[in-house]
Amino acid sequence: MSFPRIKRILLVDGTGSCWQEDIGAIRESYAAPGERWTIPASTPGMKFIRQPSRVVQIGLQMENGETAWGDCLSVSFAGKSGRDVSLEASSTRDLLDPPRLLKILQESSGKGLGDVDDALGREFPRWTAAIRFGVSQAVVNATAISTRTMPFHVLRDTLGIRPETAANGIPVFPPFPPVPALQGSCGNNWRDTVERMIVAGIEYLPQGQFEDLDRELGQYGSKIDGSKIFEYIDWLKKRIGDLASKTKPRAITLDFHGALAQICSGDMDAVAAWIKELARRCQPFPLHVESPVVESTFEAQINSLVKLKTAMRAHGANARIIADEWANSLAQIERLAKEKIVDGIHIKMPDTGSLLDSGRAVQVCKDNGLFVILGGSCTETATSSRLAAHLGMATQPDAILVKPGISFDEGFSLMKNELLVIQSLLAVSGAFPDSQDSTRGNVSTGAYFPATMSVWP
């Protein structure tokens, strides 16, 4: 699929779907959410410990008059764990360099998406991950619009993904791929939002935000004893029993953002003991632990994770360790996956940059047997979230993060509906002979429509 001729670039300031926060400053001196808007931040690039997230929308106007959009944006915890600092509109416009970008894109007309992505990487080495993320969205959307296909097809074909086949040569999922599982994130609303996740049938939850460790983990004197988190796990299991209908969570996900290592003063043996007890209390649900430790450098993070893996083996702690912090670039993800440093990786798409690099990150995780979440941030937009759905359908990760926003329902509706629409369009194109979709393989028409759709005539 070839990239179209671009005649004009549009840049529009916008807003993300949630705020950004300085998690380090909040933990150093806990402040109630309403107070955070006016307390100075300690993380570079942030003015206050809670502030609105900013977006620069980039539009690529094609010669036929249609415009393809992408959103440049930063994650909620920008500036931490090796991430770029929070996106600032004026500097982003300068780095984008629209006149030069237009020239490069026009020279790329007729080329494949991979070649366009490579050219942008060569010509703009100073681009932040946020810029690469937004521009790649616009490039993918432009290619899909001009070729009258979906972003799914553009991403699938560029990444070289073909339908999995069984021994008899018939596609495993004819003529459409399954909708991947979804992972919800409740922010600091640990109960009301999580109840809505359970009712919705979310597969992985709650991935809350640990801010006030005394309140969320439990304190006894000067020692954090775990009473609050243990009580919460009991509550969560009960509410799953009360509210879940057909679909129950596949695992309980606790995203600590380094809190376990913090309360254990960096002692990985003590962290492993905590994880063992948490996993025991989560039974019969498996436990996923995201970012039990967060160090100041990537190499220090690797060393601590290796020590933790050894300690967990010694303790017999049965839980998946999921890398989130310090799993930013494709190179970092490749090392974590190939060296089996962790059991899974949460890919933060705005940190990874190009959509193609996020797709390659999913592939390297799957190739190395890791659990993989195609994720991102609550700060994302409808545009970036819809493209995540297309990339997820193409690459088939173990889970896709519900986004944008932090209140769950709106993001769940957007992501689930987009995934079902993609699946339905693939089913129709695979079932009828006038389709140009190569996924239909040897499957005859009609019998394989998803249960969620009907077709007339």
For the stretch 280-320, pLDDT in tens is 999 999 999 999 999 999 999 999 999 999 999 999 999 99
Q: pTM (2 decimals)?
A: 0.93
> Is pLDDT at 147 greater than 60 in this prediction?
yes
H or E, element range at 153: helix 151-158
CA 34 to chain centre: 27
When pLDDT is averaged across residues 41-49 and rounded to a whole number, the result is: 91
Please report the pLDDT score of residue 213 as a whole number.
Answer: 80
- Give the count of beta carbons closer than 10 Å to the beta carbon of residue 227: 12
> Is pLDDT at 12 greater than 70 in this prediction?
yes
* Domain parsing of the chain, residue ranges: 6-148, 181-428
- Kindly indicate the confidence band of residue 145, based on its pLDDT and cuts at 50, 70 and 90: very high
For the stretch 338-377, pLDDT in tens is 999 999 999 999 999 999 999 999 999 999 999 999 999 9
- Give the count of beta carbons closer than 10 Å to the beta carbon of residue 189: 16
| Residue pair 321/279 in contact by the 8 Å Cβ criterion | no
- Kindly indicate the confidence band of residue 439, based on its pLDDT and cuts at 50, 70 and 90: very low
> Is pLDDT at 167 greater than 90 in this prediction?
no
Please report the pLDDT score of residue 176 as a whole number.
Answer: 76
For the domain made up of 181-428, the CATH class stated in words is: alpha beta
Q: Enumerate residues 6+ apart whose C-beta is below 8 A from 147.
A: 1, 2, 153, 154
What's the CATH code, domain 6-148? 3.30.390.10
Please report the pLDDT score of residue 210 as a whole number.
Answer: 85
Please report the pLDDT score of residue 174 as a whole number.
Answer: 53
The pairing of beta strand 6-21 with beta strand 50-62? antiparallel
Please report the pLDDT score of residue 437 as a whole number.
Answer: 45
What value does the CA radius of gyration of the chain take, rounded to a whole number of Å? 22
When pLDDT is averaged across residues 321-336 and rounded to a whole number, the result is: 97
H or E, element range at 130: helix 129-147
> Is pLDDT at 165 greater than 70 in this prediction?
no
- Kindly indicate the confidence band of residue 448, based on its pLDDT and cuts at 50, 70 and 90: low
- Supply 290's token pair: 């995201």
> Is pLDDT at 410 greater than 60 in this prediction?
yes
- Kindly indicate the confidence band of residue 440, based on its pLDDT and cuts at 50, 70 and 90: very low
Percent of the chain exceeding pLDDT 70 equals 92
Please report the pLDDT score of residue 438 as a whole number.
Answer: 41
What mean pLDDT, rounded, does the chain reach?
91
Give the largest Cα separation in the chain, rounded. Answer: 71
As a whole number of angstroms, the distance between CA 411 and CA 185 comes to 10
For the stretch 370-406, pLDDT in tens is 999 999 999 999 999 999 999 999 999 999 999 999 9
For the stretch 87-141, pLDDT in tens is 888 899 999 999 999 999 999 999 999 999 999 999 999 999 999 999 999 999 9
